A and B are shown apart, each in its own frame.
Chain A
Amino acid sequence: MESIQQLFEQVFGAELGYMLFSLSTNLTFIFAIIVPLLLGVAYLTFAERKIIAYMQIRVGPNRVTFFGIPWLRGWGQPIADAVKALMKEIVVPAGANKFLFILAPILTIMPALAAWAVVPFSAEMVLADINAGLLYILAMTSMGIYGVIIAGWASNSKYAFLGAMRSAAQVVSYELAMGFALVCVLMMSQSLNLGDIVRGQQGDNWISFLHWFWIPLFPMFLVYFISGVAETNRAPFDVAEGESEIVAGFHVDYSGMAFTVFFLAEYANMILVATLTAIMFLGGWLPPLDIAPLNMIPGFIWLLLKIAFLLFFFLWFRATFPRYRYDQIMRLGWKVFIPITIVWIVVLGVIMQLPESIQNDVPLNLWF
């Protein structure tokens, strides 16, 4: 790494060389995050179709394969779907606002990808190790709603507009519960930096999964994850799409790649919510037991396993629960989740001020 930096500085001069060096390394890191993420999105759609199919005693996609290899049947499906989407025409409705119609999918995918900048994949692997990482994540995820609203308005269609309205109200309400749940996490870890949040869950003995925040913050873990499902407009909170009520909601008029970008953003957001839940409640890159064979495995593999475990729940929910009625969604957000989170903040604050906690200089240790 340093020799490359020296090469850049010798070729382009000290200041410009350093700038170009940091630019190129950052771009490389960004590609190293985005490319696996998009592949993950592609195969998450495949996993979704397969898992839901098996839950409904079907087989799911089982035709497209690579080079005719029989045991890979079905694995080519996401690639074939992507190629199909690229070939299709993007139809812009005559009455639509053309500029905003095209801008909306871009505004949806941008924050879904930008939020990954601060995600720590292991103790050292993080693109931007900033102090206010948690706030940055909250800010980015809260911007994703613009794409949905603008898409609904720019399509100039009743169904799209209804979907956008529903989605806006839903996301704004669940963001509050999500934010309050994260306040509890930062009270426990005393830091807004995502790496420090994981390090705060390390514990001092080998049974490390008992030190993860999911035990002391168990209600917050549930609230955060369910709010995450609601934020990504996934079943059973998918009233923004609600195909039985408003056709396909905000993206009813989108086709081809413009639709695919919405689709990509939804799945990228699912992976993001699963990653954040894993980082903040399930110990991120830490192994569940800090003993010989388990702690030899690199950290990011543990993180990937936890993400896959949580993503399975997203698919499981979709196969199991019927869609919420709209007023019930609002009730769950405002009258159930927000009171629970506020009470838990107060409880946590009281525990942190107990003489034992102050003496031991740890905010909350269940295993004194």
Chain B
Amino acid sequence: MNFQDIIFYFFSSVLIVSALGVITVRNPVYSALLLVLSFVTSAGLWLLLEAEFLAITLVLVYVGAVMVLFLFVVMMLDINLDKLREGFWKWFPIGGIVALVMVVEIAIVMFGQYFSLDAMPAPEPKTVEYSNTKELGRLLYTEYVYAFELAAVLLLVAMIAAIALTLRHREDKKSLDVAKQVSVKKEDRLRIVTMPAEKKG
């Protein structure tokens, strides 16, 4: 067992334990933090596959932005855990079947001919000049440019839709016109009063 194997087994065991923790711990904040841990460890696994761009982007996007907002929301929720757990055994059979189907599907893909270890051998070590990022950019902006643009438009539509659905115009809303505030001059607010000095008795 060489050094890379040790790292791989370490990261994958941490990943499995933290992923199990996400769905089993009682405290939702812990579960969000364990999800962060599993993102970071899977980024470590991707680094072993020499996919440094994807690994760092995973940390940057999911850990640095998405999970921060998740945590933000989870911390503000007042979750009644007993109520959440009430229906667990009632829905367990259905959930179990769904989970089983997913496991079987993943197994079919992983052990099939397209993704097996023979079809997808470990990547050849690249030279120092080889830049993962450049290759990915070249592919995304040439061969897959339509799919890429389509995904971007889809995200934009989803973003606008989310804003449009939640934006409410209330009559009694108190808001400030920032441009007006910024352009305030001294003369608008300040009045210098000259008044005669009082007479001394």
Contact = CB atoms under 8 A, between A and B. Distances in A.
Chains A and B bind each other? yes
A135 B63 contact: no
A149 interface: yes
A231 to B, nearest CB: 11
B72 A132 contact: no
Contacts of B60: 135, 138-139, 142
Contact of B68 (A138, A146, A331): A146
B33 A131 contact: no
Interface string A89-102: 00000000000100
B29 interface: yes
Interface in B66-92: 68-69, 71-72, 75-76
A142 B63 contact: yes
Contacts of B133: 131-132, 135, 192
A135 B56 contact: yes
B72 A149 contact: yes
Interface in B102-150: 131-133
A83 interface: no
A175 interface: yes
Q: Is the interface of B mostly helix, strand, loop or mixed?
A: helix
Given A146-B36, A165-B72, A172 B52 contact: no
Contacts, number: 69
B56 A149 contact: no
Nearest to A99: B30
A136 B68 contact: no
Interface in A119-140: 130-132, 135-136, 138-139
Contacts of A149: 68, 71-72, 75
A132 B132 contact: yes
A297 to B, nearest CB: 30
Interface in A128-176: 130-132, 135-136, 138-139, 142-143, 145-146, 149-150, 153, 161, 164-165, 168-169, 171-172, 175
Interface string A13-36: 000000100000000000000000
Interface residues of B, number: 24
Contacts of B56: 132, 135-136, 138-139
Contacts of A100: 29, 33
A145 B68 contact: yes
A172 B60 CA distance: 11
B160 interface: no
Given A130-B52, A143-B63, A135 B57 contact: yes
Interface string B32-54: 01001000000000000000110
A131 B135 CA distance: 13
A204 interface: no
Given A139-B64, A142-B65, A132 B3 contact: no
Nearest to A129: B128
Contacts of A132: 52-53, 56, 132-133
A81 B2 CA distance: 46
B168 to A, nearest CB: 18
B75 A131 contact: no
B178 interface: yes
Nearest to B65: A172
B176 interface: yes
A19 B3 contact: yes
A152 B57 CA distance: 27
Interface of A: 19, 100, 130-132, 135-136, 138-139, 142-143, 145-146, 149-150, 153, 161, 164-165, 168-169, 171-172, 175, 192, 327-328, 331
9 contacts: A132-B132, A142-B64, A146-B36, A149-B72, A168-B68, A169-B72, A172-B68, A175-B65, A327-B178
